[in-house]
Amino acid sequence: MSILMGCIADDFTGATDLAGLLARSGVPVSLRIGVPEEAPTNPAAFEVIALKCRTAPMDEAVAETRKALAWLKSAGATRFFWKYCSTFDSTPEGNIGPVAEALMADIGTHQTIYCPAFPENGRSIFMGNLFVGEQPLAESPMKDHPLTPMRDSNLMRLLAPQVKGSVGLVNRLIVAQGADAIRARLAQLQADGVAHVVVDAVADADLFSIAEACQDMPLLTGGSAIAMPLPALFTKRQSSESVKQSQMRPATDKAIILSGSSSAMTRQQVARYAATRPSLRLDPIDLALNGSNAALAWLAEQDLTQAPLIYATAEPSQVAEVQNKLGRAKAGEIVEQALAAFAVAARDLGAGRIVVAGGETSGAVTQALGVTRLDVGFEIAPGVPWTFAQSDGKPIALALKSGNFGGPAFFDDALNALEPE
């Protein structure tokens, strides 16, 4: 099967989220960690490239995504998807808008849509405003995100400072009329010179109408859910490859849970899991002063069949205190490097299942493990699949979870869903 769409995600959990939803349809999905150095050979129907550019300097993010686009073009892709978080994690400088505008220029298209809605996970857009559950984005826990605090809920206002072109809206009243009405509104906006179009969506039915209307656009942007209908629209063929992948099982019952996210849901997940399992909380200030040897020694003494938890998850006030002392970038880097080192140590101790919470942490872990390609298996929770790879010649299973995804029992759910052979 030739490549149907090339996808670029701004972080690792976002990429696995996207790949998992695409794989629901049964089409082959390949997840690449970073832009491959080698030329494309035998690309999957959907190729997903995971970058680590959500909070990178804007110029670096643009350069890296353009490099990914060039690789996907060389693989034969003519339709592309720029995936970012369903909470539109960004700052007035970017990186969502500048990257989209650069991709549009390289592709040669004059209009794209922005639809980060994910109703299944409580993310909806109404009259251009993004909601998290029943709360406007700026009133949700995302308002205190340590890297991208979201203090406005209106996507048009958030996007406008990031792009040179005009910003418009296809509102819910139009979306509810179906694909033809959406196409007509997009054509009207394009005639008016509007390049960047936010599209409302409050239910899965809206996503299907939007995908049908926009399937022939060279570039789509948004959260993973807007891409979910695309495989069925692009092809009716089914592949047994994803079924085969979903039946993979690790050969060992050893596992580890690593959490670097401090999102509201991850805090619940950590508290629930730590109440009954061996766990170690990391202190970033202690890591900065004394390194991670004490934590590595603790890990070496653990029974990995009990799937111990190592976490830096903390309340927003604690995160702010650490950032004030160490600096925002250094605080995050210290935690990511430590958790990545624990992933490598756990692998070397025989862990075949590694569950990671947090996009930045997932990126650091996969890089430390030397993983460059993941086969996408079945979903544990909406947007979080088990994936399978090789690390230092060993087969491993990775679940890379965006901070706010999954339910309170996610860590147990993940382990129970993938028991060893």
Whether residue 376 sits in one domain with residue 320: yes
Q: How far is the C-alpha of 221 from the C-alpha of 122, rounded, in Å? A: 19
328 class by beta-carbon count within 10 Å (0-12 exposed, 13-18 middle, 19+ buried) = middle
Whether residue 212 sits in one domain with residue 262: no
Whether residue 169 sits in one domain with residue 206: yes
Q: Supply the pLDDT for residue 246.
A: 43
Q: Supply the pLDDT for residue 249.
A: 67
Whether residue 179 sits in one domain with residue 37: yes
Please give the residue range of the domain that contains residue 381. 248-417
| pTM across the whole model | 0.83
Q: How far is the C-alpha of 302 from the C-alpha of 322, rounded, in Å? A: 28
Whether residue 297 sits in one domain with residue 202: no
Contact by Cβ (8 Å): 92, 165: no
Please give the structure tokens belonging to residue 58: 């804007």
Please give the structure tokens belonging to residue 268: 């619940």
Q: Which of 194, 216, 243 finishes a domain?
A: 243
Residues of the chain with pLDDT under 50: 237-247
The alpha carbon of residue 310 and the mean position of all alpha carbons in its chain are separated, in whole angstroms, by 21
Q: How far is the C-alpha of 159 from the C-alpha of 336, rounded, in Å? A: 29
Report the 3 state secondary structure along the chain.
CCCCEEEEECCHHHHHHHHHHHHCCCCCEEEEECCCCCCCCCCCCEEEEECCCCCCCHHHHHHHHHHHHHHHHHCCCCCEEEECCCCCCCECCECHHHHHHHHHHHHCCCCEEEECCEHHHCEEEECCEEEECCEEHHHCHHHHCCCCCCCCCEHHHHHHHHCCCEEEEECHHHHCCCHHHHHHHHHHHHHCCEEEEEECECCHHHHHHHHHHHCCCCEEEECHHHHCCHHHHHCCCCCCHHHHHHCCCCCCCCEEEEECCCCHHHHHHHHHHHCCCCEEECCHHHHHHHCCHHHHHHHHCCCHHHCCEEECCCCHHHHHHHHHHHCHHHHHHHHHHHHHHHHHHHHHCCCCEEEEECHHHHHHHHHHCCCCEEEEEEEEECCEEEEEEEECCEEEEEEEECCCCCCCCHHHHHHHHCCCC
Q: Supply the pLDDT for residue 145.
A: 81
Provide the domain count of the chain: 2
Q: How far is the C-alpha of 199 from the C-alpha of 225, rounded, in Å? A: 13
Whether residue 309 sits in one domain with residue 407: yes
Report the 3 state secondary structure along 1-45.
CCCCEEEEECCHHHHHHHHHHHHCCCCCEEEEECCCCCCCCCCCC
Q: Supply the pLDDT for residue 421.
A: 66
Q: How far is the C-alpha of 75 from the C-alpha of 80, rounded, in Å? A: 12
Q: Supply the pLDDT for residue 94.
A: 86
Whether residue 316 sits in one domain with residue 218: no
Whether residue 279 sits in one domain with residue 239: no
Task: Indicate which CATH number applies to the domain containing 402.
Answer: 3.40.980.20
Q: Supply the pLDDT for residue 245.
A: 42
Task: Indicate which CATH number applies to the domain containing 119.
Answer: 3.40.50.10840
Q: How far is the C-alpha of 196 from the C-alpha of 199, rounded, in Å? A: 10
- N-to-C CA span, the chain: 31
Q: How do strand 219-222 and strand 309-311 relate by DSSP bridges? A: unpaired
Phi-psi region of 342 (alpha: psi -120 to 50; beta: other; left: phi over 0): alpha
Q: Which of 223, 243, 263 finishes a domain?
A: 243
Whether residue 292 sits in one domain with residue 212: no
Q: How far is the C-alpha of 5 from the C-alpha of 229, rounded, in Å? A: 13
Torsional sign, CA 222, 228, 231, 236: negative
Whether residue 165 sits in one domain with residue 252: no
Instruction: Give the closest residue to 13 by CA, choosing from 388, 363, 373.
Output: 363
Whether residue 360 sits in one domain with residue 301: yes
Q: Supply the pLDDT for residue 242.
A: 39
Q: Which of 212, 243, 274 finishes a domain?
A: 243
Contact by Cβ (8 Å): 360, 366: no
Q: How far is the C-alpha of 157 from the C-alpha of 136, rounded, in Å? A: 14
Whether residue 353 sits in one domain with residue 267: yes
The residues, ordered by sequence, that sit 6+ positions from 317 with a Cβ below 8 Å of its Cβ are: none
